[in-house]
Structure 1
């Protein structure tokens, strides 16, 4: 991809004020796109990104922010549904209220944002949507029942969206990261009894031996929304250091 690969395109990134979202918004702008960030608090979003306050769990908030972003950008060619929240626990641990909250943000939030953006995407000749999945969709991890359910639904939703809108010229794909070195993971590590040991365990869990960086996930998203991926739709691109598919033998002890 060239620096001007996305020149002339416009993009909206939800949850774009930090972590994967900020890395993605920054990279899309570097590749030539004009980018609007939707976030609960976009006040610290750096130029040239445009920040709009939005709560993906509130339809009126999302609709208003998407319309404001479309007006400022002159349309929407690219939508990255990145906003989400985490959850820890087995099915016995999370109360109904938490289940409803996480599903509302992680799943229905994608629906709300995409629904609001669809009229603009339909007017684009290079429309693309990328939803953020997770390694938990294909790999059973402990203490992630609720989060895994929400992201599994996003994966299935991606396939349905791709089928529904391919003949409208809108491509829909998913990126499935492994454990990413984001502020949320940082807070989990800080809360551990032994943060250093917990980080070492997370590093060792991924075959390439380290956490995924937000910039690596952003690069995958940038490819999927680019014209270079014009024949790619309904796909999930894994950015997980081989975690989903590789089964390495334990290293011999010296």
Structure 2
């Protein structure tokens, strides 16, 4: 890759050990960035960092732990980009989602984003700028059956991102969100779609929702994230960019 859009920049990526997070780590590193891979699976985070080589580093991080998040940020000499990609899912309706499951989804998928942003924003403001890219979902914009908690949390991520863009734009901070459709991640490959174990459920959802007629790849989402995190998007903030094969165009 010829472009070096992230030369001299440090990018912290939560959920960086697999799926979209790992693809984004690879993309930013390939474009000259120093990548800090954070994941609740610390061994996997360190493995991804080792495979990237160079100055990449890996840390164990549960994004529900604000203190640990702040500790990692404080340990870095610099940070210019945050990609908040950590997430979990529970597939069910409100009556069938337990209070514990509901709280877990909110803690990881929404409060985890808050924690990551809270940790980096003072640094960004002090240094005169930075880029935040959060990860929502097509079903943060529109609803979906059997995904009540996930829909709620991802909708919260989108509006949290807009609010941060408005609050901190004059400080040089840009905050944008990517909203993927069905992407070929471990969760999808395991057939856990809509609460069903049948791998055919994934293809049925693709047929129903994706105008392009296929599942997406993590690298395709990573490309959009890298764009929003780079200076190529210097006049874009508060945006929610669908990377969903036309799902939300319906």
TM-score (norm 1): 0.90
For residues 157 and 59 of structure 1, do their structure 2 counterparts lie closer, same or farther at Cα, with a shift above 3 Å needed?
A: same
Cα distance in 2 between the residues matched to 1:167 and 1:126: 9
Q: Does 1:47 align with 2:31?
A: no
Kindly report which structure 2 residues correspond to 1:107-146, keeping only aligned pairs within 5 A, or say none: 107-146=110-149
Report if aligned partners of 2:88, 2:108 keep a CA contact under 8 Å in 1. Answer: yes
Q: Does 1:172 align with 2:172?
A: no
1:194, distance to aligned residue in structure 2 (A): 3.9
Q: Does 1:187 align with 2:190?
A: yes
1:192, distance to aligned residue in structure 2 (A): 4.7
| Counterpart for residue 86 of structure 1 | 89
Cα distance in 1 between the residues matched to 2:219 and 2:197: 28
Shifted more, 185-194 versus 171-180: the winner is 185-194
| Counterpart for residue 216 of structure 1 | 220
Report if aligned partners of 1:162, 1:234 keep a CA contact under 8 Å in 2. Answer: yes
Q: Runs of 5+ in structure 2 lacking a partner?
A: none
Cα distance in 2 between the residues matched to 1:89 and 1:60: 31
1:125, distance to aligned residue in structure 2 (A): 4.8
What CA RMSD, in Å, does the superposition of the two structures yield over aligned residues?
A: 1.7
Kindly report which structure 2 residues correspond to 1:25-36, keeping only aligned pairs within 5 A, or say none: 25-36=25-36
Give the count of matched residue pairs: 241
Cα distance in 2 between the residues matched to 1:96 and 1:105: 14
Cα distance in 1 between the residues matched to 2:211 and 2:59: 38
Could you tell me which of 162, 165, 183 is aligned with 1:159? 162
| Counterpart for residue 18 of structure 2 | 18
Kindly report which structure 2 residues correspond to 1:69-84, keeping only aligned pairs within 5 A, or say none: 70=76, 74-84=77-87
TM-score (norm 2): 0.91
| Counterpart for residue 72 of structure 2 | 65
Q: Runs of 5+ in structure 1 lacking a partner?
A: 247-254
Cα distance in 2 between the residues matched to 1:141 and 1:2: 40
Q: Secondary structure at the match of 1:118?
A: helix
